[in-house]
Chain A
Amino acid sequence: MSSVAFAPVSARRRRTDKLARASVALLTGVALVPLALILYYLVKQGIGAISLDFFTTDPTGSFLGDPGGIKSAILGTVLMVGLAAAVAVPVGVGVAVWLVEFGRASKLAHAVRYFIDVMTGVPSIVFGLFVYITLVIGGAGGSSFAAWKGSTALALLMLPIVTRSAEVVLLLVPDALREAAYALGAPRWKVVFRVVLPTALPGIVTGVLLAVARAAGETAPLLFTAAAVNATAFNYNDSMNSLPMLIFKNVGQAQDRLVTIAWGAALTLVAMILMLTLLARLIQRRSRLS
């Protein structure tokens, strides 16, 4: 103990360290294997379907002839998820702001948090069923199956994801920033809009993307709400096609060409979500610099 020199790292410590490193690396590898396999199969099986026509023509629905492309499904997914996000994102972020900035530890806030947790765990098909029973059977809006009803089910699915992730991020905004703004004489709503939300924005966007990606890939809430048609539709009060529904229908067919279309559509869906993520990153980086 009197010596100034530090004892060398013991062989045992070295071995333990190596072992720990190796097992962490191994686990990472194990986690990456299925991901890599999924991507590999998607590309391998789906790339054959991809062509310009694939994106620009609607499915024909014919079993033996030319199966057509997936245009109506892409547009339908964009339209339905877009409407769902337009509703779920402001509401979800609003609820999160209320929880963090106003509700805090109140009884109501606890109840809302609990409710959101329950909603997160509800299987997506239940949202579909709920909309089916309330809106489809009842013929709300003068239609049975309709895109806006599909959007409703998707919005219900997105709401807890957006709210929960936004709440977590808002809680991370340091109180020192709120204090600084209040000490400048800012009213509460301005503190929220000018200081808290901009600071939390990157995190909120991440949560929103997560919710969008999740909704874009859901089949169950659309099965008996928006149903599916082959033709491109822009009317929210009509049935609309979507990528998950198209994949669902085609993948079970006894026709290799149709199965290939399902793979192509899956590849397209993944690519779309990837592009959305990249786009959001880009926008965030831009706004950071200015």
Chain B
Amino acid sequence: MSDLAAQRTTTVRPAPGPALQPVASPARAVTVERLNAWYGDQHSVKDLTLSFAPNRATALIGPSGSGKSTVVRCVNRMHEEIPGARASGRVLLDDTDVYGDGVDVVAVRRAIGMVFQKPNPFPTMSIFDNVAAGLRLTARKVSHDQVESALRGAGLWEEVKDRLAKPGIGLSGGQQQRLCIARALAVEPDVLLMDEPASALDPISTLKIEELVQELKSRVTIAIVTHNMQQAARVADQTAFMLDGELVEVGPTEKIFTNPDDSRTEEYVTGKFG
């Protein structure tokens, strides 16, 4: 317990200013409006309104079970894959409601990519095929250049360029996670949702993922769920604090960690609970 608190109370370095990030391709904004989500009878996300600014990283923090994963899974409509789960409210990608009538869920997921907590490359596929999978699964032709650029984007190209035909599960955990990031990038999404992408990784791999998040901001809008305060401080421009399915507070990362408006936020970021 004590080391956890110590970890949280260490002074956090604010993320580099957004001005330093060159915007290579303008990504799209995501706006969540009055989102409610249920698992059966359990009301897991309550009336949540939150914007993810384009080409910025937004961190979602909060204690376990506060609904962070549920929120990001609602953004790309993965929530509805769970039997008995439902959601109401609006999720706007720029101006389009992804829950709108006649919106193709396949198109939504192509535009909003996702990286999971545990690396999950397809075990029967080679490194190349893993990256190409997203394109193939959505019926598009795949060129070597697309795969290469996705792997470069995920900072993995140099490590795997000589063994593209080898199985994806033959990589280390950190490499597998970057492979999954490459797989998500290959379909050229506007938004990347990352649900605790480094929590199963060692410190060096974690650092690589964090550097990657900084780089990827030039291409995509990022939502990153994390339990690690320093990580949020290092990568996020904006941080949102959730508690019991509600949004307590959202603001510039520096403000959330140094001078939050809500006392509960302060208690959480200083390690008093959670």
Question: Which listed residue, A179, A185, A199, touches B134 by the CB 8 Å rule?
Answer: A185
Whose C-beta in chain B lies nearest to the C-beta of A180?
Answer: B120
Residue A139 at the B interface, CB < 8 A?
Answer: no
User: Does A176 lie within 8 Å of B120, measured CB to CB?
Assistant: yes
User: Does A184 lie within 8 Å of B183, measured CB to CB?
Assistant: yes
User: Does A180 lie within 8 Å of B124, measured CB to CB?
Assistant: no
With contacts A179-B120, A184-B183, A199-B122 known, is A191 near B137, CB below 8 A? yes
User: Does A182 lie within 8 Å of B120, measured CB to CB?
Assistant: no
User: Does B122 lie within 8 Å of A180, measured CB to CB?
Assistant: yes
User: Does B116 lie within 8 Å of A185, measured CB to CB?
Assistant: no
Once the chains are docked, how many angstroms separate the CA of A40 from the CA of B105? 61
Contact with A along B107-136 (1 / 0, CB 8 A): 111100110101011111000000001101
With contacts A104-B83, A184-B138 known, is A179 near B106, CB below 8 A? no
Residue B184 at the A interface, CB < 8 A?
Answer: yes
Q: Which of A105, A182, A183, A187 has the most CB of B within 10 A?
A: A183
- Interface range, B side: 20 to 34
Whose C-beta in chain A lies nearest to the C-beta of B118?
Answer: A176
Q: Which of B76, B121, B137 has the most CB of A within 10 A?
A: B137
A177: B residues at CB distance < 8 A: 120, 122-123
Q: Report whether over half of chain A's contact residues are helix, strand or loop; otherwise say mixed.
A: helix
Q: Which of A176, A179, A181, A184 has the most CB of B within 10 A?
A: A184
B107: A residues at CB distance < 8 A: 185
Residue B180 at the A interface, CB < 8 A?
Answer: yes
Residue B5 at the A interface, CB < 8 A?
Answer: no
Residue B101 at the A interface, CB < 8 A?
Answer: no
Q: What distance in Å separates the Cβ of A101 from its nearest Cβ neighbour in chain B?
A: 12
Residue B142 at the A interface, CB < 8 A?
Answer: no
A109: B residues at CB distance < 8 A: none
User: Does B114 lie within 8 Å of A181, measured CB to CB?
Assistant: no
Once the chains are docked, how many angstroms separate the CA of A179 from the CA of B109? 11
User: Does B109 lie within 8 Å of A184, measured CB to CB?
Assistant: yes
Residue B213 at the A interface, CB < 8 A?
Answer: no
A29: B residues at CB distance < 8 A: none
B120: A residues at CB distance < 8 A: 174, 176-177, 179-180
Whose C-beta in chain B lies nearest to the C-beta of A186?
Answer: B137
Residue A194 at the B interface, CB < 8 A?
Answer: yes
Contact with B along A183-213 (1 / 0, CB 8 A): 1111100110011001101000000000000
Residue B145 at the A interface, CB < 8 A?
Answer: no
A198: B residues at CB distance < 8 A: 124
Residue B78 at the A interface, CB < 8 A?
Answer: yes
Whose C-beta in chain A lies nearest to the C-beta of B138?
Answer: A185
Contact with A along B79-123 (1 / 0, CB 8 A): 001010000000000000000000001111110011010101111
Sample of 12 A–B contacts (CB below 8 Å): A105-B83, A180-B120, A183-B114, A183-B184, A184-B110, A185-B108, A186-B134, A186-B138, A190-B137, A191-B137, A195-B133, A201-B124
Task: Given contacts A179-B116, A194-B137, list 12 more A-B pairs with CB under 8 A.
Answer: A174-B120, A176-B118, A180-B180, A183-B116, A184-B137, A184-B183, A185-B187, A187-B106, A190-B137, A194-B133, A198-B124, A199-B124
Q: Which 7 A-B pairs have the closest CB atoms?
A: A186-B137, A185-B109, A184-B134, A183-B114, A176-B120, A185-B110, A198-B124
